[in-house]
Chains A and B, each alone.
Chain A
Amino acid sequence: MEIPYTVKPRPDTGLYNAKVGIWLFLASEVMLFGAFFSTYILLRVQAPHGFWPEVALGWPHGLLNIPIGTFNTAVLITSSVTVVMAWIALKQNNFARFQKFMAVTVACALGFLLIKTFEYKEKFGHYVIQLADGSRITGHLDVNGKSPLFWTKKNLEESKIETLKVQQDIPNKFRFPVGHAIPEDIHKAHAEGRHHNDREIPVSDIVSLKAFIPSTHPFFAIYFTMTFLHGLHVLGGALVLFYFGFIGTRMWKTSPEQFTNRIEVGGLFWHFVDLVWIFLFPVVYLL
């Protein structure tokens, strides 16, 4: 049985069916991501004044790596350009050019995911430490020259370490509210290129130890949920584009117009995924 309207537009919609289908799907995706963006805004506006970790549920600032986030944004914008060029190459009947652009698109997607993985790993080895005097500090641990991931107070006790070496973060300027002067010692440390202070803390002084994971703070909960969900979309899109570009290419010989429409639908999904990141990046990394 032949599937209708895969090439010719359906008279009532004026579009081929797959295009109507992908836009309906993208509408549902807007609702999904919209719910998460709304959640982010509500969590943020309801956070108490002050900044985490100094204030327990204050909103943290300056914890994400902005240069890496910027680079990843550029990678995704590039991939959007290449996926459109791949589609146009098919319209111009140039299959070799199409495959070259698809290869770059998939490479960009994998590059994005690889960078995101490193970013996640850095967070899993970054800790907030509650001390017996009630203060909280953040930093990386140094346990026998290694930076352990996902450690808790229990791991500390089991390791029988008496003194914990910590590379304590020097707060960056984004930790301070707009209009408030940055303390002179912090300003000086950053001017000298120092971003942490080496410190040794007796384990008996440590009340709790938690990595930057979703359960540590609502910011991490929403950050990991949104970026992981987005990452899954990138992975899914990359797999589909790889299939269209290099495995399922037989249709190009039997029905080139339908194949071109498939690439257009894949490209529409890819643009949506990139557009989500364009909103995610400033909201989570910058503001």
Chain B
Amino acid sequence: MSLKAFHVVFVAVSILLTLVVSSWSFGNYRDGGSARDLAFGIASLLAGAGLAVYGRVFLKKFKNISYL
């Protein structure tokens, strides 16, 4: 597995992390949390969306590099 392939895996796991963090944060907000919890959850979702866009651009731009 090349660095390119590992990077794609890493970005995918990072996106999952942002989803975990946002669901954790929204859960806190639902359980009587503050606006800070809501903002943190939204920021995590946005970070996940940013990573997804980055991953797509990365794959498109460097498709000539091997996965091996």
The stretch from A77-85, A137-145, A217-225, A234-242 touching chain B is A77-85
A interface, CB within 8 angstroms of B = 14-15, 19, 23, 70, 73-74, 77, 80-81, 84, 87-88, 91, 173, 178-179, 182, 187, 190-191, 264, 267-268, 271, 274-275, 278, 281-282, 286-287
List chain B positions with a Cβ less than 8 A from chain A: 1-4, 6-7, 10, 13-14, 17, 20-21, 24, 28, 31-34, 40, 47, 51, 54, 58, 62, 65, 68
B3:A271 contact, CB within 8 angstroms: yes
Residue ID in chain A nearest B10 by CB atoms: A271
Question: Binding site of A, secondary structure by majority: helix, strand, loop or mixed?
Answer: helix
Tell me if B13 and A84 are in contact (CB < 8 A).
no
Q: A15-B68, A80-B10, A275-B10 are in contact. Are A286 and B3 (CB under 8 A)?
A: no
From the candidates A14, A268, A274, A275, name the one contacting B3 in the complex (CB within 8 A).
A268
A91 lies within 8 A of B17 (CB): no
- Beyond the given pairs A81-B54, A271-B6, A282-B21, 9 more chain A to chain B contacts, judged by CB atoms under 8 angstroms and listed by A's residue number, are A73-B17, A84-B3, A84-B4, A87-B3, A275-B13, A278-B10, A278-B17, A282-B24, A286-B20
Tell me, rounded to whole Å, the shortest Cβ–Cβ distance linking B4 to chain A. 7
Residue of A nearest to B47 (CB): A74
